[in-house]
Structure 1
Amino acid sequence: MIEHFPFYLIVVVLIVLLIMLGNKIKVAYPVLLVLAGLFISFVPGIPVLKIDPELIFIIFLPPLLYEASWANSWKELWHWRRIIGSFAFVVVFLTAISVAFVANSFIPGFSLALGFLLGGIVSPPDAVSASAILKFVKVPKRMSSILEGESLLNDASSLIIFRFAAIAVTTGQFVWYNAAFSFTWMVIGGIGIGLLVGLVFLKAHKKLPTDVNMDIILTLVTPYAMYIVAEEVHASGVLSVVSGGLFLSYHRHAFLSSSSRLRGENVWQSFVFLLNGLVFMLIGLDLPEIIAGLKKEGISFYQATGYGLLITLVLIIGRMVAAYGALITTKIASHFITVADKNPGTKTPLILGWTGMRGVVSLAAALSIPITLDNGAAFPQRNLILYITFVVILVTLVAQGLTLPAMIKKIGLPDFDDHLPGEETEKQIREELARESLQYLNLHHKIETEQSFHLQKMIRYWENQLQADETHVVSDEIKSIYKNILDRQRELLLFKNKNEQRIDEEIIRKFLHQIDLEEEKLRLE
């Protein structure tokens, strides 16, 4: 491996350059990385990037899922819980069934168990791809919330299907009541272990004398601990990371200092940036080895490509049907129960149905298929499953990924009234923060305010947004007062986020980030 280290460094630099190019020409970077990896893989003498199938999940999934959990809004997740739950569980299960029966009917040598294995691999859409594509176009907040929430949960449901199908293939039997018990334990155990491990790390952050570097290291260890502990007791490691990540994200201001939040955010953005880049590059780089495996098994390249396109078509049609099925179900359900939106319109399901790009999880699941069975025999159809997965990822990324922005601009999505306008929300929050700060000073520090230049300066800033002379030294007492004010502002923002559904949490997080910056600046003065 050490002799190929310069090549790995070149790959990392190339990932950065391609993402810069993607931002420049407004093309989602997963598309460019997959195509670049595919092109590089055919260059003579290029080293083969190989990862142990048993390590692929542990290396990539825990940090990617954990970061996604921190980026997601629990408020939005709960608000759109019905449609997110239906897409993340019901649609994934129905998609796996569809793929299983089509594969069993049209692909020679494919049993139903192998079909379900393939269905579990290709059923979950990739959030990274969708987010990278939607970055270049404006979409309603509800759509991004639904896609982000779906991506958190559909990985767990698809990988549960994948695990049961793999057991059926390796053992040759499927006992439904054992499967039902295992499924229940995987869900409940996974969520419970995630929350428990999350609570342990929360207490560790609060009780131990950690500094910023230690806090960041603990956050890097946390998702791996959640995943490994859950998998060791045969629960869902994915659900463990997701539930634990959401729990810690919700309480982030209770156990992390402003310095740890600010610096940790930078570390995590760089870490996840690198992991995502490597995974999408790996998709393209892995194709020659997959094709070589097909030749060994005597499977025609064109025939295998046809199978891949068939499964891709099943996935695209299935998601479209599910999207409009959700629209019909919502209209019917609105007569009996309260739903988040009685009339979502016909354009939104079209876009939601077209955002079915596959990526990281599908690749990880396919690569994790063992090379041999327990008895030493070769795992049946492994190379064909890998190739079909590659075709699905490539076609959905390129075809849907490149056309999605144009489709969104062409049809013109409606401007839903889910959230207050951004400028109006920011103005309202600034006024409330200023009012809360002034009220706190008047109630608790009226004398100090009359005597302190810096407190008067802050008052003038809140009242008139004026700048004052920065040459005065800030005393420890004034720093303490200002720190208390920042704490009050943070409490107000968290309260508003929790109790006012129409305020976009992204705006709340923007103000919380600014308060963290103010606190860090105060600490350094």
Structure 2
Amino acid sequence: MLHDFPFYLTIIVVILLIIMLAKKIRVAYPILLVLAGLGISFIPAIPTLHIEAELIFIIFLPPLLYDAAWAISWKELWKWRRIITSFAFLVVFFSAMSVAVVANYFIPGFSLALGFLLGGIVSPPDAVSTGAIMKFVTVPKRFSSILEGESLLNDASSLIIFRFAFIAVATGQFIWHEAALSFVWMIVGGVASGLIVGYMFMKIHKYLPTDANADIILTIVTPYVMYIAAEEIHSSGVLAVVSGGLLLSEKRLNFLSSTSRLRGVNVWESFSYLLNGLVFMFIGLDLPQIIAGLEEVSILSAIGYGLLVTAVLIVGRIISAYSAVAVTLIARNYIKVADRSNPGYKVPILIGWSGMRGVVSLAAALSIPLQLENGSAFPHRNLILFITFVVILTTLLLQGLTLPFLIKKINMPDPDFIMPDEDLYIKLRKKMTHEALHHLKENYSDELDNHPMLLHMAKKWERTEEMAEETGLMSEESKIIYKAILDHQRKWLHNLNREKQQINEEIVRRHLLYLDLEEEKLQFI
């Protein structure tokens, strides 16, 4: 391990360079990372990478799910709960069943149980790939909310299917009533354990004398505890992390200080940035090991099977998207639905095409053991691994590269948020300032005369309220000028600190931190 340490450091540097390149050419970075890993894996003398499934399930998956749960809007998640749950559970099951039937019919030696195993592996779309693409295009809020919400839950449903199919393959039997009870327990136990652990950590944050550093470390530990606790009681670790993460995200103002929230955002952005980069690079680097174990069928046949399964997944998801619209149009006559308008053909085709696969599929495939309990080799393990890789690579390249063009071509308006984001921001800023002034004058009118700083703040807010609609957000040209002024102030402080020995450098650094915060605020004004 220590011998290969320089190699892993080099990989991290390569990941950073590739992500910077992806931003430069406006391509989703998971696509370039997988291709780069694939290219690097064929370089002679490169260390062979052996990825353990536990490495992804335990180390990578909990924090990535937890970060996604903190980022999503609970309001939007609840608003679109019906379409999200249908895609996260019903569509995943339909995809797995479709793959099972096709694999059983077209792939020699594939039983229906083995087909369901493969279907459970490749059925969940990857949230990271879709999220990376969404940064380069403008889409309606409902579209991104549905995809984000689906991605939080579909990993759990697919892994449940995978577990049941694995039991059927390993034991040769499937007891329905036991499976139903186990299914219920995985959901109920996972959600309950996540909420309980989340509540415990919330109280730790609130009542123990933690500072910002301790708070951030606790937030990093939390998803691992949620996941492991749920898995120990044989429930869904994924649902535990998602439910606990949603709880803590919704209550964050109650137990985290502003300093902890501000610093935590920066830490978690960097942490997730690195984890996502490593995972997609590992997918490409692992190909030689997968090919080396592919002995039972030819490479061309294996590629053909992979492309066939990919086609089934893409077509099945598009059919599911249009079916969901049809069901909604019928159901709105009997129950209250979030959208009573006719969504047309645009939303379903975009949702149907947003089905890139990634980290969870790879981890599930790698978790298949080499042997069954009776000592015999697990049937078609290497072929399943290869098909999974083909599905991941094909969906990333085909759908990942074309989705931005499809979104721009359709150019779908946002039916929920008619007002432009900039105008809405200014409107809320003005109302927030008005509310602050009202609260200050209503509750602290006597203190205004005795505290000049409070009076100064009140006058500043009054000017801000008057100028909000007239000036709007700061223009890009103004931001450039302001940044130049901030840089000049930094240089002045640096030179002053170097020339004046009697000045305490800690005081200088406090001023430098203030300037950094001022520059950080530019993205919000």
Q: 1:376 offset after TM fit, Å?
A: 2.5
Q: 1:390 offset after TM fit, Å?
A: 0.4
Residue 139 of structure 2 aligns to a residue in which SS?
A: coil
TM-score (structure 1 length as normaliser): 0.87
Q: Output the CA distance in 2 between the equivalents of 1:407 and 1:433.
A: 38
Q: What runs of 5+ residues in structure 1 fail to find an aligned partner?
A: 467-516
- The residue number in structure 1 matching 2:2 is 2
Q: Output the CA distance in 1 between the equivalents of 2:364 and 2:217.
A: 27
Instruction: List per-residue Cα deviations over 1:190-243 (Å, max 9, x = no partner).
Output: 000000000110111111111111111111111010111111110111000000
Q: Output the CA distance in 1 between the equivalents of 2:43 and 2:17.
A: 19
Q: Output the CA distance in 2 between the equivalents of 1:332 and 1:414.
A: 24
Q: 1:249 offset after TM fit, Å?
A: 0.5
Amino acid corresponding to residue 220 of structure 1 in structure 2: I
- The residue number in structure 2 matching 1:337 is 335
Percent of matched pairs sharing the same residue: 67
Please identify, of 13-22 and 435-444, the stretch whose mean Cα deviation from structure 2 is larger. Answer: 435-444
Q: 1:444 offset after TM fit, Å?
A: 2.1
Q: 1:419 offset after TM fit, Å?
A: 6.1
Q: 1:181 offset after TM fit, Å?
A: 0.4
Q: Over the residues paired in the alignment, what is the CA RMSD in angstroms?
A: 1.7
- The residue number in structure 2 matching 1:282 is 282
- The residue number in structure 2 matching 1:124 is 124
Q: 1:36 offset after TM fit, Å?
A: 0.4
Amino acid corresponding to residue 347 of structure 1 in structure 2: K
- The question of whether the paired residues in 1 share the 8 Å contact of 2:121 and 2:365 is answered with yes
Instruction: List per-residue Cα deviations over 1:169-206 (Å, max 9, x = no partner).
Output: 11221100000000000000100000000011011111
- The question of whether the paired residues in 1 share the 8 Å contact of 2:51 and 2:286 is answered with no
Q: 1:339 to 1:141 in 2, by over 3 A?
A: same
- The question of whether the paired residues in 2 share the 8 Å contact of 1:66 and 1:242 is answered with yes
Query: Are 2:231 and 1:236 aligned?
Result: no
- The question of whether the paired residues in 1 share the 8 Å contact of 2:104 and 2:115 is answered with yes
- The residue number in structure 2 matching 1:352 is 351
- The question of whether the paired residues in 2 share the 8 Å contact of 1:62 and 1:223 is answered with yes
Q: 1:113 offset after TM fit, Å?
A: 1.1
Amino acid corresponding to residue 429 of structure 2 in structure 1: R
Residue 43 of structure 1 aligns to a residue in which SS?
A: coil
Q: Output the CA distance in 2 between the equivalents of 1:153 and 1:196.
A: 19
Instruction: List per-residue Cα deviations over 1:119-166 (Å, max 9, x = no partner).
Output: 011001011000101111110111000000000011110010011111
Query: Are 2:73 and 1:73 aligned?
Result: yes
Amino acid corresponding to residue 361 of structure 1 in structure 2: V
- The residue number in structure 2 matching 1:247 is 247
Q: What runs of 5+ residues in structure 2 fail to find an aligned partner?
A: 466-516
Output aligned runs, 1:84-99, within 5 Å.
84-99=84-99
Instruction: List per-residue Cα deviations over 1:7-58 (Å, max 9, x = no partner).
Output: 0000000000000000000000000000000111111111122232334311
Output aligned runs, 1:91-490, within 5 Å.
91-294=91-294, 297-342=295-340, 343-418=342-417, 420-465=419-464
Q: Output the CA distance in 2 between the equivalents of 1:303 and 1:285.
A: 22
TM-score (structure 2 length as normaliser): 0.87
Q: Output the CA distance in 2 between the equivalents of 1:448 and 1:464.
A: 20
Amino acid corresponding to residue 443 of structure 1 in structure 2: E
- The question of whether the paired residues in 2 share the 8 Å contact of 1:226 and 1:244 is answered with yes
Residue 293 of structure 2 aligns to a residue in which SS?
A: helix
Q: Output the CA distance in 2 between the equivalents of 1:82 and 1:112.
A: 30
Instruction: List per-residue Cα deviations over 1:383-436 (Å, max 9, x = no partner).
Output: 101100000000000011101111111122133134643233222322222222
Residue 465 of structure 1 aligns to a residue in which SS?
A: helix
Instruction: List per-residue Cα deviations over 1:433-470 (Å, max 9, x = no partner).
Output: 2222112221222122123221122112111139xxxx
Q: Output the CA distance in 1 between the equivalents of 2:344 and 2:28.
A: 27
